[in-house]
Structure 1
Amino acid sequence: MPRTWFLLALIIAGSVQADNDREILYQVSTIDALLTGVYQPLAKLREVRTRGDFGLGTFDALDGELILLEGQVYQAAADGQVRLMPPDTGTPFMAVTFFDADHALDSPADQPYADFKTWLESRLPSHNLIYAVRVDGVFDHILFRSVPRQNPPYRPLAEVSRQQTLFEQSAIRGTLIGFWCPTFLQGVNVPGFHLHFLSADRRHAGHVLDFRLAQGRVQLDQTDGWEVQLPLHPAFLDAPLHGDQSRDLQAVEQGHSTP
């Protein structure tokens, strides 16, 4: 093959690979590791941000909720502050992708969270793929939470969630950021919806527990690739990642503590 054609082939191959990379959900660690108390910094934000401009997670020592929107990483802290985070900040769990909307639709007006989930799930092209979910809208009411920074020895997330700080806002404009994952990803990611909220003025943010959506524009990025970085950190390697933790996960996601 002449050198010119060889170089052209490499450029094309690189372009195809770059396009494919945009359709991958990349995540650091697993949700079950987080549930057991693996809160150590397993990656730096600057490393994970090369793999996406949209996503969610948490920070070193479980220090608040993480929102990645349009390439910017925000911390929703337990004190109610929303901060832009520096690239050297550590994360024990983070899921990201490059958001390129494949589907867009308007949600029904005045819709509570439970109805919203049922409505949107009924419109997913397949329940065997991953979707990045972005909703820009006005919320009549929204309930969200954050958790305070922890100190070792780290307790399981179901126990820590009892310390959560709840926040409520009414008549607020903002964005839901998150993912819908199939049931077969249980233990590695959150089956169903996992959403964080960021207000349009960037003053309010957290893990979504409930809302009533007055009006909203929903965008879905269908994601058919999935890559998990399994850390070599001792905290992850020694974590008891066995058994069914779905009950604890459900309690944590809904903002309730298990007995």
Structure 2
Amino acid sequence: MKISTRLSAMVLGFGICIQAQAGDDTLYQVSTIDALLAGVYEPVAQVGDLMRHGDFGLGTFEALDGEAILFEGRIYQARSDGVVRQMPPETGTPFMAVTHFDQDLALTPPSDQNYADFKSWLEAALPSRNIAYAIRVDGQFAQVRYRSVPRQYKPYPPLLEASKSQTFFEQKEIRGTLIGFWCPAFTKGVNVPGFHLHFLSDDRQHAGHLLDFELTRGQVAIDLTNDWSVGLPMDPSFLDANLEADRSEALHRVEQGKSDE
């Protein structure tokens, strides 16, 4: 009974916070994750357009050319050759999700967690599973494993096929930040249900799509988002794509870096 009362008070407090910051608590994205899975890699927006909607987020670039990380108002490209570079605002993107990050909740995770344990711990701490959250984790990592996918060429293959040429990276004893989102199950097909995080090292020399880690110590900042805006492209590559199939299994394999199963 005490736990229920405390949780209700917590959620009420978050609700007040959300309403007070309604202008900033929007997750804005262009295109959908299923379109990306289907091989729609044409540029449907410029990253500069997305940066008007947020200073924090992730996605990819035209032709699936590496992982995109928007952090503190700067957009980074994590290439498949390991190079990390800042990109100009006119760079094209086929899929990206962003928000204005404004911390609503701060948590200290248990030390020495791997990614699986971290996800279970953080999901248990979320006040609701029916809204989206922007998630930032600053920490010291004993180990972090991530990947990037190389630029693709027409005719574009589906993402699962393209990810067979992905490059895996592993760093040890490194400081960095995890940047991304947790989305509800009902966003299936539009975004990635559950966790979708990218890694960026403090020295900006290492970055990519997160696969696993061992977190020595860190801090978690969470921004609750109660509004969602999806820009659907009018590009023929999107309009003509077959997006009726269930791509849940393909998404799971891509997210886990298991394209060859």
Residue 7 (structure 1) aligns with: none
Whole-Å Cα distance in 2 between the matches of residues 173 and 108 of structure 1? 17
- In the alignment, structure 1 residue 210 sits paired with structure 2 residue 217: no
Residue 35 (structure 1) aligns with: 37
Residue 56 (structure 2) aligns with: 54
User: Is the CA contact (8 Å cut-off) linking 1:54 and 1:70 kept in structure 2?
Assistant: yes
RMSD of equivalent CA atoms: 1.4
Residue 131 (structure 1) aligns with: 133
3-state secondary structure, aligned to 1:256: coil
Which of 249, 252, 255 aligns to 1:250? It is 252
Shift of 1:258: 5.2
User: Is the CA contact (8 Å cut-off) linking 1:248 and 1:258 kept in structure 2?
Assistant: no
Whole-Å Cα distance in 2 between the matches of residues 133 and 22 of structure 1? 15
3-state secondary structure, aligned to 1:151: coil
Residue 13 (structure 1) aligns with: none
Which of 223, 226, 250 aligns to 1:224? It is 226
How many residues are treated as equivalent by the alignment? Answer: 244
| Greater than 2 Å deviation, 4+ residue runs | 17-21
Q: Which runs of 5+ in 2 are unaligned?
A: 1-18
When normalised by structure 2's length, the TM-score is: 0.92
Deviations 1:101-151 (A, max 9, x none): 000011100001000000000000000010000000000000000010010
User: Is the CA contact (8 Å cut-off) linking 1:143 and 1:208 kept in structure 2?
Assistant: yes
Whole-Å Cα distance in 2 between the matches of residues 248 and 203 of structure 1? 30
Which of 82, 92, 95 aligns to 2:94? It is 92
Whole-Å Cα distance in 1 between the matches of residues 121 and 95 of structure 2? 29
Residue 152 (structure 2) aligns with: 150
Q: How does 1:151-166 map to 2 (within 5 A)?
A: 151-166=153-168
Shift of 1:243: 1.8
Residue 119 (structure 2) aligns with: 117
Q: In the alignment, residue 70 of structure 1 is paired with which amino acid? A: E
Residue 66 (structure 2) aligns with: 64
Shift of 1:46: 1.1
Residue 141 (structure 1) aligns with: 143
Whole-Å Cα distance in 1 between the matches of residues 38 and 260 of structure 2? 14
Deviations 1:69-97 (A, max 9, x none): 00000000011000000010000000000
Whole-Å Cα distance in 2 between the matches of residues 93 and 227 of structure 1? 13
When normalised by structure 1's length, the TM-score is: 0.92
Q: In the alignment, residue 33 of structure 2 is paired with which amino acid? A: I
Shift of 1:18: 11
- In the alignment, structure 1 residue 45 sits paired with structure 2 residue 47: yes
Deviations 1:23-62 (A, max 9, x none): 0000000000000000000000111100000000000000
- Identical-pair percentage: 64
Q: Which runs of 5+ in 1 are unaligned?
A: 1-16
